[in-house]
Amino acid sequence: MTTAAPGDKQVSIWWWAFGYFAAYAPYSALTKALSDGKLGDKVPGNTILPLSTLSSLCATIVFLYATGWWKSAGKKQFGSLSIPFPTRWTALSGLCGATILTTTTLAYTISGVSIVFMMLLLRGGVLMIAPMVDALSRRKVKWTSWVATALTLSSLLVTMIGRDESFTLPLLAILDVSAYLGAYFIRLRFMSKLAKSEDLEVTRRYFVEEQLVSTPAALLGLGILAIIGGGEFDNIRRGFIEFPFTLPALWAVGIGVLSQGTGIFGALVLLDKRENTFSVPVNRASSMLAGVVATLSLWALGIGKPLDPREGIGAGLVIAAIVVLSLPSLMKKKQSG
């Protein structure tokens, strides 16, 4: 199984999924440990964001330069200088990526609403959007993709069973979820039309140009929220002017690098040339399995809670989804052998 991803040759989507998993597990574990005060002073999640996002931006620059992929971006002439420059469409997709990053963080800081419920709305919503985008793009969806989507969505629903939590949604939560899902819809639509291609250079160009916009835009957005201030936004302001000069800031730098790893590999998974109803469950499944590993790791180190049985069942459903998605490739290898 291959993906039309950046590079001189096609790379299996499962390698990108593994990279996403490998970055997401320590990223989520470190973020949780730092925000819960397990690595020193307790640091609010919003306070971590400015420095981690700046670190992500630096990691993006290093990655694009080290791989040489920045050369694939479109160029614009400024006097005697020719610099990489996105098109209006990749710039808009990059802004959608920045919106996804910001709204994901804000989703877990809204008071009066369950974090678990917000997670279900965000992840489950994208799973339901995927076949809609495929329908609009006139992409054929294989039965394995439908089954995997159902299994992955079921894994999220399982986590809700028996939880004594409030599932009411204040206006801010409704706006946040709407912005998140709207950004994902536009991003997947652009990817389907402009980047999911047999031409590796086309996919590479789209990927690079989107990366040039998403993280800088997210950092700019955080700066605007810090200037606005008030409520949780005051924590963002402290993340700019106070937190960088503390010892825990070193952990935030590592979180930012790992976060960018999830952004890079996660995007490459979504850019797979096949239908979104295939690539989105692979993306979601990788992050959910990484969350399970992060939880187990923190518990093993004595700084976290054990895995909830419902989360274990959910992980089993995710593994089943991955097996289903792998069936066509396994059957093809068996026939050729």
Q: Is residue 8 part of a domain?
A: no
Q: Is residue 336 part of a domain?
A: no
Q: Is residue 120 part of a domain?
A: yes
Residue span of the structural domain in which 247 resides: 13-329
d(CA 271, CA 283): 10
Predicted confidence at residue 101, as pLDDT, reads 79
pLDDT digits (tens, 9 = 90+) for 51-66: 999 999 999 999 999 9
User: What contacts 295, CB < 8 A, 6 or more positions away?
Assistant: 29, 304, 305, 306, 307, 311
Bridge partner residues of 3 (DSSP): 11
Taken in order 178, 19, 67, 11, the sign of the CA dihedral is negative
User: What contacts 312, CB < 8 A, 6 or more positions away?
Assistant: 292
Mean pLDDT of the chain: 84
Count: domains in the chain: 1
Q: Is residue 150 part of a domain?
A: yes
pLDDT digits (tens, 9 = 90+) for 1-41: 444 444 456 778 889 999 999 998 898 888 888 887 888 88
Angle between helices 249-270 and 200-228 (to 10 degrees): 140
The one-letter amino acid code at 276 reads N
Q: Is residue 55 part of a domain?
A: yes
Q: Is residue 334 part of a domain?
A: no
d(CA 87, CA 208): 11
- pTM across the whole model: 0.83
What is the mean pLDDT of the segment spanning 323-332? 76
Q: Is residue 223 part of a domain?
A: yes
Q: Is residue 89 part of a domain?
A: yes
